[in-house]
């Protein structure tokens, strides 16, 4: 599984990095970021799917 953030949709709500801090970060302006290549480590798929499901702008996507 791989995740990405659509930067055109992200409004900086921060739910992705609140729900899955091991998978997402934030930039200096509070917008979500995906460290490295976005590959979700084994056992973290549930966290990734929570972030996808809870983004109000649908900016977090499963790639």
Its pTM stands at: 0.92
pLDDT per residue as tens, the chain (63 positions) = 999 999 999 999 999 999 999 999 999 999 999 988 999 999 999 999 999 999 999 999 998
In terms of Cα–Cα distance, which of 22, 11, 21 is closest to 55?
A: 11
State the pLDDT at residue 36: 85
Distance from C-alpha of 51 to C-alpha of 60, rounded to nearest angstrom: 7
User: How many domains does the chain contain in total?
Assistant: 1
Can you list the alpha helix ranges (DSSP code H) found in the chain? 15-19, 45-54
Site of tokens 């798929």: 45
CATH of the domain at 43: 3.30.70.20
Enclosing domain of residue 56: 3-62
């Amino acid at each position: 599984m791989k995740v990405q953030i659509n930067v055109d949709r992200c409004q900086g709500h921060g739910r992705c990095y609140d729900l899955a801090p091991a998978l997402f970060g934030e930039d200096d302006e509070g917008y979500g970021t995906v460290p490295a290549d976005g590959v979700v480590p084994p056992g973290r798929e549930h966290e990734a799917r929570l972030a996808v499901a809870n983004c109000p702008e649908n900016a977090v996507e499963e790639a």
